[in-house]
């Protein structure tokens, strides 16, 4: 009671002497800016708020930021002072909303500066860059005020555009990819002293236009693509490669060392159709998040990515991961392209098993304590293996101990093998290597057949044959009656699993499309079953 009475007395006394009461407070000025964060390969808008209040000088940041976000207090202060901008001499409280969303990376430095400037009243009301609902600011700051590139600018801006943003300031180093986002006024900044002029539309030149033009020039002259004419012989493997390209099928190549497995795999992108506009944007977004800027010119030119990691790769290197910001792995970097795994039996078993889900549904779900991150991974897989550890071309020449040859290929599990539509073997043909007489088809010739086959499939079900749903395929688009009976016999005899029947039927449709046949017959189905169940020194387990 005493404390309450004293408090009431103090309150009454203050009011009597004319002190400021709650109702007399002036409006609080809170500076705002909009930044962006990444969740997987998707951008999420983040509102950055700044309040300058009484208290000892310092800066606190709330909103579940990682170490890079929390260390922004030192970068932002030094960058502003060294750029001739006033730093508050009292307490600064920064909030990143939504507060429950984990945030990572250094891309919030620039929006923090804009929020501080707004809270200090240095941003004019009604300035084009002052509206956080229509403006996005992204960038890392050096201590001298230099604006440095950050990963993931492309998917961030795509998400910002979807949220209603029409203007964006990004680092000049990211301006080339940012300029690819239609419907937004993009400006690249080199230094922090350009921020306020950009906010008030007083910046002389839009840097993004200049850098974007250079990016277009680079994309128009991509590096050379390996050509199929450089592969001599290997008629069976070349045919399997063409079928894989025409139907989007996964392929397993096996053969002695030096017989051309890697050469064939490297030439698969050269006979695939170019990326569509949607595929190009999706693929570029993944490479942007992974900070693989060197691959963007080839992607923008329409070339499908070719990713060939070392056999010693780990599961996170394949599927993606990371403690803070999730970085896409090799499977996601090969999105809409080719993932080539050489020396597949040397890859750890749990790594290969990580391919099973993305081979089926084209995505990778990474479970974290705060939620699940989904990464795209619609790739075309090519596995390559030697027949045994010693690499002997024929079983009679093998120097491995008993049973080693069989156990070597059995490191690729049955479930993984069952998801490989095609199997082919390369041979050591010494006469073909020395043959310079020509007559070998180049990639352009094969690509023409592949494009024609894909057109037939697209008109039939708007997808490549490898992605057609199995039950719908059997019900609505079966092969001829005799061919379907043949598949039923293989299933009854145990030569094919239910998944194997569906995959063989898909391959049969691809063979029919390549041949210009309206419906697979018994010949196409027999070839498809042979390509699916081909004996690879012990066959499929």
Of the ranges 128-132, 219-223, 414-418, which is most confident? 414-418
pLDDT, residue 222, reads: 53
Residue 330, pLDDT score: 96
What phi-psi label fits residue 322: left (phi over 0), alpha (psi between -120 and 50 degrees) or beta? left
Is pLDDT at 531 greater than 60 in this prediction?
yes
Residue 2 clears pLDDT 60, i.e. is over it: no
Q: Which residues are within 8 A (CB) of 364 and not within 5 positions of it... i.e. 6 or more apart?
A: 319, 320, 329, 331, 332, 357, 358, 374, 375, 376, 377
pLDDT at 205: 55
> What does the pLDDT read at residue 45?
97
> Radius of gyration over alpha carbons of the chain, in Å?
30
What are the tokens at 340? 């080539």
d(CA 132, CA 160): 11
Respond yes or no on whether the N-terminal peptide bond of residue 331 is cis (omega within 30° of 0). Answer: no
Q: What is the DSSP string of 152-197?
A: THHHHHHHHHHTT--EEEEEGGGHHHHTTSTTSEEEEESBGGGHHH
**pLDDT at residue number 206:** 54
Q: Distance between CA atoms of 379 and 331, rounded to whole angstroms? A: 7
Section 435-440 average pLDDT: 60
pLDDT score recorded for residue 24 = 45
| Percent of the chain scoring above 90 in pLDDT | 65
HEC profile for 18-44? CCCCHHHCCCCCEEEEEEEEEECCEEE
If you average pLDDT over each of 127-131, 228-232, 345-349, 433-437, which comes out highest?
A: 345-349
Q: Are the C-beta atoms of 187 and 178 separated by less than 8 Å?
A: no
pLDDT exceeds 50 at position 217: no
- Identify the architecture of domain 228-533 in CATH: 3-Layer(aba) Sandwich (3.40)
Which pTM does this prediction carry?
0.87
What are the pLDDT digits (tens) for 486-523?
A: 999 999 998 888 989 999 999 999 999 999 999 999 99
Q: How far apart are CA 134 and CA 277, in angstroms?
A: 26
Mean pLDDT computed over 266-283: 95
CATH 3.30.230.10 fits 30-218, yes or no: yes
Within the chain, which residue ranges are assigned CATH 3.30.230.10? 30-218
Q: What is the mean pLDDT of residues 53-66?
A: 91
Residue 18 has pLDDT above 80, yes or no: no
The pLDDT value recorded for residue 433 is: 52
Helix or strand or coil: residue 46?
A: strand
Which span out of 101-105, 246-250, 408-412 was modeled with the highest average pLDDT?
A: 246-250
User: Is the predicted pLDDT of residue 19 greater than 50, yes or no?
Assistant: no
Stretch 443-451: mean pLDDT, rounded? 96
The yes-or-no verdict on residue 436 having pLDDT over 70 is: no
pLDDT for 111 beyond 90: yes
Residues of the chain with CATH 3.40.50.300: 228-533
The average pLDDT across 446-464 equals: 94
pLDDT tier at 428, thresholds 50, 70, 90? confident
Q: Give pLDDT, residue 218.
A: 39
DSSP 8-class letter at 222: P
Highest averaged pLDDT of the listed ranges 138-147, 291-300, 456-465: 138-147
Mean pLDDT of the chain: 87
Instruction: State yes or no: pLDDT of 315 exceeds 60.
Output: yes
279: pLDDT confidence band, cut at 50, 70 and 90?
very high
Confidence of residue 132 (pLDDT cuts 50, 70, 90): confident
């Amino acid at each position: 009671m005493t404390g309450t009475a004293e408090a009431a007395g103090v309150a009454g006394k203050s009011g009597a002497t004319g002190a400021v009461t709650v109702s007399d407070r002036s409006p609080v000025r809170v500076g705002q800016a909009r930044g962006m964060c990444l969740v997987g390969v998707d951008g999420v808008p983040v509102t950055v708020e700044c309040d300058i209040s009484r208290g000892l000088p310092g800066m606190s940041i709330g909103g579940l930021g990682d170490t890079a976000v929390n260390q922004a207090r030192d970068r932002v202060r030094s960058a502003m002072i060294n750029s001739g901008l006033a730093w508050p001499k009292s307490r600064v409280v920064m909030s990143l909303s939504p507060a429950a969303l984990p945030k990572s990376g250094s891309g919030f430095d620039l929006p923090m500066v804009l929020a501080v400037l707004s809270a200090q009243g240095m941003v004019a009301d009604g300035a084009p860059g002052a509206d956080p609902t229509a403006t996005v600011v992204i960038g890392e700051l050096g201590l001298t005020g230099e604006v440095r590139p950050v990963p993931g600018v492309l998917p961030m801006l795509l998400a910002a555009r979807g949220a209603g943003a029409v203007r964006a300031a990004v680092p000049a180093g990211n301006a080339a990819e940012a300029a690819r986002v239609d419907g937004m006024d993009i400006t690249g900044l080199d230094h922090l002293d350009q921020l306020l002029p950009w906010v008030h539309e007083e910046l002389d030149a839009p840097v993004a236009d200049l850098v974007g033009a250079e990016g277009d020039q680079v994309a128009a002259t991509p590096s050379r693509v390996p050509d199929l004419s450089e592969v001599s012989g290997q008629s069976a493997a070349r045919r399997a490669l063409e079928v894989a390209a025409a139907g989007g099928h996964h392929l397993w190549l096996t053969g002695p060392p030096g017989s051309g497995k890697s050469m064939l795999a490297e030439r698969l992108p050269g006979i695939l159709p170019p990326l569509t506009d949607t595929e190009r944007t999706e693929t570029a977004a993944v490479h942007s998040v992974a900070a693989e800027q060197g691959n963007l010119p080839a992607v923008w030119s329409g070339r499908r990515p070719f990713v060939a990691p070392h056999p010693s790769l780990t599961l996170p290197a394949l599927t993606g991961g990371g403690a803070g910001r999730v970085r896409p792995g090799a499977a996601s970097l090969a999105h809409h392209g080719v993932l080539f795994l050489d020396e597949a039996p040397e890859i750890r078993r749990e790594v290969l098993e990580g391919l099973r889900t993305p081979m089926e549904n084209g995505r990778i779900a990474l479970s974290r304590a705060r939620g699940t991150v989904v990464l795209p991974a619609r790739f075309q897989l090519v596995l390559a293996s030697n027949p045994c550890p010693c690499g002997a071309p024929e079983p009679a020449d093998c120097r491995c101990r008993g049973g080693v040859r069989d156990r070597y290929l059995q490191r690729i599990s049955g479930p993984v093998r069952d998801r490989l539509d095609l199997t082919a073997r390369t041979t050591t043909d010494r006469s073909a290597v020395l043959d310079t007489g020509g007559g070998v088809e180049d990639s352009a010739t094969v690509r023409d057949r592949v494009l024609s086959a894909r057109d037939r499939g697209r008109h039939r079900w708007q997808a490549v044959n490898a992605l057609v749903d199995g039950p719908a395929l059997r019900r609505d688009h079966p092969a001829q009656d005799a061919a379907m009976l043949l598949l039923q016999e293989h299933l009854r005899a145990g030569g094919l699993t239910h998944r194997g029947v569906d995959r063989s039927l898909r391959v049969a449709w691809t063979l029919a499309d390549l041949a210009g046949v309206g419906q697979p017959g018994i010949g196409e189905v027999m070839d498809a079953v042979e390509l699916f169940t081909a004996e690879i020194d012990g066959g499929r387990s």
